[in-house]
Amino acid sequence: MSLFGDLKSSLSGNQSVDPSLQTFLELEQKKQTIYNSAMVEIQIIMARIEKEQSAIGAKAYSLFREGKLSQEELAENFESLTKTIDTYEEKQNKLNEIMERYDGELQILRPASSEGAACPNCQKPYTAGISVFCSGCGCKL
Ligand SMILES: [Zn+2]
């Protein structure tokens, strides 16, 4: 089961959307849902990176104490950690890519009434009268 696979197919099946406020809001909500669930997955990987790094540290120290620390002893850990970090970067990049595509569609659908409204903190455009918090920096609008 791949969350990111599902995200891609759900996005590509949504190319010709009606330029209405309803569609805009639905898309914005969908983007937020996707972002939240992807972040849950990404945070699990981040925790795994920390755990693996700490395992390397503990193993290295114990080998050092025994006077037999060499790179070969840690090769497996390094390999595993590198894989985890690659997965993390891959997922983060995919999420950014998906978020950009949503932003592009949202930009097209954005209601005219909200034009010109931007976050005072990070300048990210928002929907006036609808958005309560900035989706860019989280500050109150
Ligand atoms: Zn902001």
Helix/strand/coil for 20: coil
Alpha-carbon gap, residue 73 to 104, rounded angstroms: 48
pTM for this entry:
0.53
Tally the domains of the chain. Answer: 2
User: Hey, what amino acid is at 53?
Assistant: Q
Within-domain flag for 66: yes
Within-domain flag for 128: yes
Q: pLDDT at position 79, please?
A: 86
> Ligand 1 centre from 100 Cα, in Å?
16
> Ligand 1 centre from 133 Cα, in Å?
8
> Ligand 1 centre from 14 Cα, in Å?
27
67 and 47 in a common domain: yes
Within-domain flag for 31: yes
> Ligand 1 centre from 103 Cα, in Å?
15
DSSP string, 77-95: HHHHHHHHHHHHHHHHHHH
Q: pLDDT at position 1, please?
A: 42
Note the pLDDT tens digit of each residue in 53-98: 899 888 888 887 788 887 777 788 888 889 999 999 999 999 999 9
Note the pLDDT tens digit of each residue in 13-41: 444 445 577 888 888 899 999 999 999 99
Helix/strand/coil for 140: strand
Which region, left, alpha or beta, applies to residue 74 given φ > 0 means left and ψ of -120 to 50 means alpha?
Answer: alpha
Cα end-to-end span (Å), the chain:
37
> Ligand 1 centre from 131 Cα, in Å?
11
CB 80 within 8 A of CB 52: yes
122 and 64 in a common domain: no
